[in-house]
A and B are shown apart, each in its own frame.
Chain A
Amino acid sequence: MSAKKTQPAVAEKPKSYGWMSEYVDEHSLLAASRKVRDSGYTKTDAYTPFPVHGIDEALGIKPTILPFIVLCMGFVGLAAAATMEIWMNAVSYPYIISGKPMLSIPAFIPVIFETTVLFSAFTTFFAMWGLNLLPRFSNPVFTNPRFDRVTNDRFFLHVDSRDKYFNRESVRELLAGTNPESLEEVVEDSTPSKFPTIIWMGLATLLVGSFVPATIIANMRASNDEYPRWHVFFDMDFQPKKKAQSTTTIFADGRTSRPQVPGTVARGQLEEQDPFYLGYDPTKIAGITPANKVLLVSSQDEPKAPSLDAPVEDEAAKPAKETEKANDAKKEEPATTAPAAAPAAAGPNLPWVTDFPVAVSSDMLVLGQKKFEIYCSVCHGVGGDGDGLVHRRAEQLQQGYWLPPTSLHDPRIRGQEVGNIFFTISNGKGKMANYAAVLTPKERWAVVMYIRALQRSRNADIQDVPVDQRAKIEEVKKAD
C-alpha cells in the first residue's frame, strides 16, 4: 500500500477512497453489509434510495444523539419564552389589559408552547444536517456515474480506504464475493473546486447592492432636508377639513367657527335658565364672589350666545381639579383633614333652590334609593355615613392620602339646601366626580330626595311616624 503511494505514476492518478459495490435490491445489500461488518471494517457506509430498515444493525451504526440535543433546546425555548414574556409584560413594560394581572401565567402559555416547538423544530432540522455534515457538494462517491441511480433504484456499499484494516485487494475480493452488480473504485473528485467567477461576481454585486437601501434610509434618518418630505398617503396628510379657530376664505369674516344663526335654538340652550336643571335660580344672583364668578358670567351672558353648557361644566370642574392637585401635593402627609380645607371647595354661594321642583312621591323616593345605591353608596355607604366599599378598601390598604367620603349626616350637609346638593351631584366636588352624565336631572332630584329621607331617618321623632304605625314602634321599644 504505502509502497504504491510513493510511485510517481500512481501519484498522478486521483486519490482512491476505497471500493464501492452496487446491488439491485436491499436484501443483497443487507447480506453484503453483514459480511463486511463481520470482517471487521467500520469505515463503511451503505447508500440507498430509501431508508432500509435493519441496515444500522447490519453495518453497526450507533444510534444518534439528536433527540437529546432537541430536548435540551426545547427546554431552552421554554425558558426563553417564559423569561421574555415575564420580563417584557411584568417587569420592563407593565400595563393593565382587560383587568388581567401583569404576570398572567395562563395567557403566557400559548406563546411558551409555540416557542418551545419552534426551538425544538429548528434544532432538529439544523442539528440533523450538522451531524450529517451536510451540505457537502463535492463528494468522492459522486465520481462514479453509476452512482446517479442511488436515488432511483440501486443500492451501494462503500468501504473507505481510511479504515484501519483497509487493504485494497482483500476488500475488492470481499465485495466481489457478495455478488454485486458492479464493483468500482471510489476516486477523488477531480473537477475544479474553484467557485465559478460569474457566481462570485453576482453574489458580490448582490451583497453590495443590498447595502444601498439601508444606506439611503440611514442617511435620511440622520440628516435634515430642506425639501418637504414625500407624502405617500397624500389624503391622510392633507385632509379636506377645517379645524376650530382656523381661518377660511369661504366666509367674509374669515372664521371657520360660525356664530349662532338668529332665530335658532341650540341643543340644551333652553335649560340654561331653568332651576330644575341647575339647582339654583340664575335670575336671582345677587353679587359676584370669586367662587361663583364663572357661573355668573355664563348665566348673565346674552341669552343668544352659543351653548355654554359644556364650558360651564368644565369650569365648574376646575376647582375640583385644583383640590385634587392640592391633595396630590399633600400625599406625603398621612393625616390630611377634610377637603373643605381648600378654599375653592367651599363652593359657590348661589341662590339655591329650596323646595323640590318636582312632586315628592314614594315612586320618586324608590327611584332615588335605587340610583343612590347604584352610584353613591360605593363611597358614601348605603346609609350615607361615608363608609362605602371603596372607603373600606382604601382603609384596608392603609393609603395615607385617602380622603374619607363625606358623611351625608354631617351637620354641614344637613344644613345645605336641596339645590346645593343637586348642584354637587351635577358638578362634582373635591374628589367626587360629577354624575350629570349618568343621572338625568329627575333622577338627581330623586337622589336628593332620598338623601333628605336618609338624613331625616337619623333625626326623626315619633311625630314623623304615621299615626297607625306608632304603636308598633312602642312595642319594639318595650321589647328592647
Chain B
Amino acid sequence: MASITYSNPREIDNTVDVPGRRSTLVTGNQTFSSVTEMVCRVAEAPQPTIWYVLFGFSSLTALMFVSLIGYLILTGVGIWGNMNPVFWAWPIVNFVFWVGIGHAGTLISAILFIFRQNWRTSINRAAEAMTIFAVICAAIYPGIHVGRAWLAFWMFPYPSLNLWMWPQFRSPLLWDVFAVGTYASVSLLFWYMGMVPDIATYRDRSKTPLRRFLYGLLSLGWTGSSRHWLRYEKAYTILAALAAPLVLSVHTVVSFDFAVSQVPGWHTTIFPPYFVAGAIFSGFAMVMTLLVPVRSIYKLENLITLRHLDNMNKIILATGSLVGLAYATEFFIAWYSQNMFESFAFMNRAFGPYWWAYWTMVSCNVISPQLFWFKKCRTSPIIMVIISIFVNIGMWFERFVITVTSLSRDFLPSSWGYYRPTMYDGLMFFGSFGVFLTLFLLFCRFLPVIAISEIKGILSIEAHREAHSHDHH
C-alpha cells in the first residue's frame, strides 16, 4: 500500500528543541498511512529470525518455571532457601521487583497523559503491555509462597461455608491483595481499551478470514465514530485520572508490607514515596531494555525516536537520584533517631555480611544513572541499554538488601543467621523472565506495539501547529 520513508535517526536530532519551536515527535515526515503501515508491518510481515530464537529460548525457560512451580507445590517451600530467620527471602524480593517494573506502563499512560506529555504515545502501548506481564510475574510469587498454593483464594473475602470467617483487613498483606488485584485489572482495562482502535486497524487490514474474525471480535465493532471517540476519550481521561493515584498506591501498599512492622531498617516513614520512586525507576529501565532492541529489530526508529529515549533516560536519572536521596535520608535518620537498632541495621547493611549486595545496589542505582547527565550517554542506544540493565540489577539488589539484611539480623543476636538461596530460587527467578519475555514476544507478534491512533492525533496537532506558526511569520 502506502510507501514508507525511513529517515536515518542519526540525521535528524529531535532531542534538542529551540525554545518556542517544538521538534517533531516522530521523524521522517510521516503521514497517517505511513504510520499505520510502519506499525502494522510488525505483526503482518514474517517475524525476523531473532524473534524465533528468542521465543524458543524464552518459552523453554517459561516451561521450566511452570514445571518448577509444580515441583514446589508437590514438595513444599522447603526447596527454597527460606529459613529461620529469613522467611521472606527471594519470593518477596522477586515479587517486589516485578511489581516495581510493572509501574512504568501505567505511569507513562496515565501520569504523563495528565501532564500532556505527548511523547508518551510512541512508547505507552508497549510499556502498558510490559506492565501487565510484569504484574503477572509478580502475582505468581506470593501465590506460591503461601505454601498451600491451591488455597490462595482464601485471601479474598468470599463467604466461605467451611471456614465461616473473614480476611483480616488490618493486615498490610491483605491490602496488597487488593492493591495488586486492582492494579492488574485496571491496567488490563486501560491497555485493552487503548488498543481497541488499533486492533480495528489490524482488523481492517486483515487478509485472512480467521484474522479478520479474531481481530474483529477483539475490536468490538469499532468504527471510529466521532460520538464513540468522544466518550472514549472521556473514559480514557477518567481512567488516567484514576490510574495515576492508583499507580502510586500500589507500591505504597507494597512498602507498607515492610514499613508498618517494627523491624529495624523497614520501619521508616519515607518508604512509600521512596518505593514509588524506585518502582518508576526500575520500570523505565525495563521499558528501555525492551524498547531499544524492539525499535531496531522492527525498524521503528522513526516512531520511537531518540527524543523518546532521551526523555526516558532523564526520568531514569531523576528517579535514580531520588532513590539515592532516600538512601541518604534513611541513613541519616538512622543516626539521628539515636535508636541503636536502626543505626545497627544500616551499618550492618553497608558493612555487615551483605556488604556486597549493598554496594552493588548503590553503584547500580545511584552511581550508574549519573552517566545520564551526559547527553552522549542519553542518546547512545548501546550505553542506555547497558545502564538500564545495571539499573534492573541494582533494583533487584535493593529489594534483596531491604528484605534479607533486616531479617537476618534483627533485635535478637541469638537468632541471627545468614541467608543462602538454593538452586531453585535462582532457577525460578530466571524462569520468571521466561514467562515475561514469552508474553512480550507474543504481544509484538499479534498486537499493536505502538498506539497508532494516538500518534496520528499527535501528527495532526503538530501539522496544525506548523501551519499556525507559518501564519504568524
A–B in direct contact per CB < 8 Å: yes
| Contact between chains at A124 and B232 (CB < 8 Å) | no
Contact A50:B182 (CB < 8 A) given known A110-B249, A122-B189: no
| Contact between chains at B224 and A107 (CB < 8 Å) | no
Contacts of B193 in A (CB 8 A): 125, 128
| Contact between chains at B226 and A55 (CB < 8 Å) | yes
Q: Which of B167, B225, B228 has the most CB of A within 10 A?
A: B225
| Contact between chains at A89 and B170 (CB < 8 Å) | yes
Contacts of B171 in A (CB 8 A): 97
**Which residues of chain B in 175-200 are interfacial with respect to chain A, using CB atoms and an 8 Å cutoff?**
175, 178-179, 181-182, 185-186, 189-190, 193, 197-198, 200
Contacts of B174 in A (CB 8 A): 111
Query: At the interface, yes or no: B242 with Cβ under 8 Å from chain A?
Result: yes
Query: At the interface, yes or no: B231 with Cβ under 8 Å from chain A?
Result: yes
| Contact between chains at A110 and B216 (CB < 8 Å) | no
Binds B, one of A148-156, A362-370, A428-436: A148-156
| Contact between chains at B189 and A45 (CB < 8 Å) | no
Contact A114:B179 (CB < 8 A) given known A66-B238, A124-B238, A152-B201: yes
Smallest CB gap from A64: residue in B: B231
Contact A151:B170 (CB < 8 A) given known A45-B227, A48-B224, A132-B231: no
Partner of A118, one of B32, B33, B185, B456: B185
How far does the Cβ of A84 sit from chain B's closest Cβ, in whole Å? 6
| Contact between chains at A67 and B33 (CB < 8 Å) | no
| Contact between chains at A137 and B249 (CB < 8 Å) | no
| Contact between chains at A89 and B166 (CB < 8 Å) | yes
**Which residues of chain B in 1-47 are interfacial with respect to chain A, using CB atoms and an 8 Å cutoff?**
2, 31-33, 36
Contacts of A284 in B (CB 8 A): none
Smallest CB gap from B35: residue in A: A153
| Contact between chains at A117 and B226 (CB < 8 Å) | no
| Contact between chains at A139 and B221 (CB < 8 Å) | yes
How far does the Cβ of A318 sit from chain B's closest Cβ, in whole Å? 33
How far does the Cβ of A133 sit from chain B's closest Cβ, in whole Å? 9
Partner of B242, one of A56, A111, A117: A117
| Contact between chains at B238 and A117 (CB < 8 Å) | no
How far does the Cβ of B301 sit from chain A's closest Cβ, in whole Å? 21
Contact A92:B166 (CB < 8 A) given known A51-B232, A64-B231: yes
| Contact between chains at A150 and B204 (CB < 8 Å) | yes
**Which residues of chain B in 133-153 are interfacial with respect to chain A, using CB atoms and an 8 Å cutoff?**
none
Give per-residue flags for B116-139: 1 if the beta carbon is below 8 A from chain A beta carbons, else 0: 000000000000000000000000
| Contact between chains at B166 and A151 (CB < 8 Å) | no
Bound complex: CA of A152 vs CA of B226, how far in Å?
A: 15
Partner of B166, one of A47, A67, A88, A118: A88
Contacts of B179 in A (CB 8 A): 110, 114
Give per-residue flags for A44-66: 1 if the beta carbon is below 8 A from chain B beta carbons, else 0: 01111111100110010101101
Query: At the interface, yes or no: B339 with Cβ under 8 Å from chain A?
Result: no
Query: At the interface, yes or no: A252 with Cβ under 8 Å from chain B?
Result: no
Contacts of B228 in A (CB 8 A): 132, 134
| Contact between chains at A97 and B170 (CB < 8 Å) | yes
Bound complex: CA of A151 vs CA of B219, how far in Å?
A: 11
Query: At the interface, yes or no: B165 with Cβ under 8 Å from chain A?
Result: yes
| Contact between chains at B231 and A117 (CB < 8 Å) | no
Query: At the interface, yes or no: B453 with Cβ under 8 Å from chain A?
Result: yes
| Contact between chains at B186 and A118 (CB < 8 Å) | yes
Contacts of B172 in A (CB 8 A): 110
Smallest CB gap from B220: residue in A: A135
Smallest CB gap from B459: residue in A: A50
**Which residues of chain A in 1-56 are interfacial with respect to chain B, using CB atoms and an 8 Å cutoff?**
26, 45-52, 55-56
Smallest CB gap from B218: residue in A: A135
Query: At the interface, yes or no: B115 with Cβ under 8 Å from chain A?
Result: no
Query: At the interface, yes or no: B373 with Cβ under 8 Å from chain A?
Result: no
Query: At the interface, yes or no: B259 with Cβ under 8 Å from chain A?
Result: no
Contact A48:B157 (CB < 8 A) given known A100-B170, A131-B231, A137-B216: no
Partner of B460, one of A50, A70, A111: A50
Smallest CB gap from A101: residue in B: B170
Contacts of A55 in B (CB 8 A): 226, 229-230
Contacts of A141 in B (CB 8 A): 223
| Contact between chains at A128 and B226 (CB < 8 Å) | no
Smallest CB gap from A158: residue in B: B225
Query: At the interface, yes or no: A98 with Cβ under 8 Å from chain B?
Result: yes
Bound complex: CA of A340 vs CA of B456, how far in Å?
A: 91
Contact A134:B226 (CB < 8 A) given known A110-B256, A148-B205, A151-B204: no
If over half of B's interface residues share one DSSP class (helix, strand or loop), that class is named, otherwise mixed; here it is helix
If over half of A's interface residues share one DSSP class (helix, strand or loop), that class is named, otherwise mixed; here it is helix
| Contact between chains at B178 and A114 (CB < 8 Å) | yes
| Contact between chains at A114 and B457 (CB < 8 Å) | no
| Contact between chains at B223 and A139 (CB < 8 Å) | yes
| Contact between chains at B230 and A151 (CB < 8 Å) | no
Contacts of B31 in A (CB 8 A): 153
Query: At the interface, yes or no: A115 with Cβ under 8 Å from chain B?
Result: yes
Contacts of B157 in A (CB 8 A): 84, 88
Bound complex: CA of A138 vs CA of B221, how far in Å?
A: 7
How far does the Cβ of A65 sit from chain B's closest Cβ, in whole Å? 9
**Which residues of chain A in 133-174 are interfacial with respect to chain B, using CB atoms and an 8 Å cutoff?**
134-139, 141-142, 148-153
How far does the Cβ of B461 sit from chain A's closest Cβ, in whole Å? 8
Smallest CB gap from B199: residue in A: A151
Q: Which of B76, B221, B457 has the most CB of A within 10 A?
A: B221
Contacts of B181 in A (CB 8 A): 114, 118
Query: At the interface, yes or no: A211 with Cβ under 8 Å from chain B?
Result: no
Bound complex: CA of A61 vs CA of B242, how far in Å?
A: 25
Contacts of A51 in B (CB 8 A): 226, 229-230, 232-233, 453, 457
How far does the Cβ of B207 sit from chain A's closest Cβ, in whole Å? 12
Contacts of A111 in B (CB 8 A): 169, 174-175, 178
| Contact between chains at B197 and A151 (CB < 8 Å) | yes
Contacts of A236 in B (CB 8 A): 76
Query: At the interface, yes or no: A93 with Cβ under 8 Å from chain B?
Result: yes
Contact A124:B169 (CB < 8 A) given known A110-B175, A114-B249: no
Partner of A47, one of B74, B223, B239, B453: B223
Query: At the interface, yes or no: B306 with Cβ under 8 Å from chain A?
Result: no
Bound complex: CA of A51 vs CA of B456, how far in Å?
A: 9
| Contact between chains at A50 and B232 (CB < 8 Å) | no
Partner of B74, one of A26, A148, A232: A232
Query: At the interface, yes or no: B235 with Cβ under 8 Å from chain A?
Result: yes
| Contact between chains at B189 and A125 (CB < 8 Å) | yes
Query: At the interface, yes or no: A104 with Cβ under 8 Å from chain B?
Result: yes
Contacts of B166 in A (CB 8 A): 88-89, 92-93
Bound complex: CA of A136 vs CA of B221, how far in Å?
A: 5
Contact A49:B169 (CB < 8 A) given known A114-B178, A151-B204: no
How far does the Cβ of A115 sit from chain B's closest Cβ, in whole Å? 7
Bound complex: CA of A375 vs CA of B196, how far in Å?
A: 70
Query: At the interface, yes or no: A85 with Cβ under 8 Å from chain B?
Result: yes
Query: At the interface, yes or no: B462 with Cβ under 8 Å from chain A?
Result: no
Smallest CB gap from A152: residue in B: B36
Query: At the interface, yes or no: B234 with Cβ under 8 Å from chain A?
Result: yes
Contact A61:B227 (CB < 8 A) given known A50-B453, A97-B171, A108-B169: yes
How far does the Cβ of A200 sit from chain B's closest Cβ, in whole Å? 14
Q: Which residues of A contact B (CB under 8 A)?
A: 26, 45-52, 55-56, 59, 61, 63-64, 66-67, 70, 84-85, 88-89, 92-93, 97-98, 100, 104, 107-108, 110-111, 113-115, 117-118, 120-122, 124-125, 127-129, 131-132, 134-139, 141-142, 148-153, 232-233, 235-236
Q: Which 3 A-B pairs have the closest CB atoms?
A: A153-B32, A88-B166, A128-B235
Q: Which residues of B contact A (CB under 8 A)?
A: 2, 31-33, 36, 74-76, 157, 164-172, 174-175, 178-179, 181-182, 185-186, 189-190, 193, 197-198, 200-201, 203-205, 216-217, 220-235, 238-239, 242-243, 245-246, 249, 253, 256, 453-454, 456-457, 460
Other than A148-B205, A151-B222, give 6 A-B pairs with Cβ distance below 8 A: A49-B197, A49-B456, A114-B182, A117-B242, A151-B198, A153-B2
Could you list 15 examples of A-B contacts with CB < 8 Å?
A: A47-B223, A49-B32, A51-B457, A104-B170, A108-B169, A120-B242, A121-B186, A121-B190, A121-B246, A124-B238, A124-B239, A127-B235, A132-B232, A136-B221, A148-B204
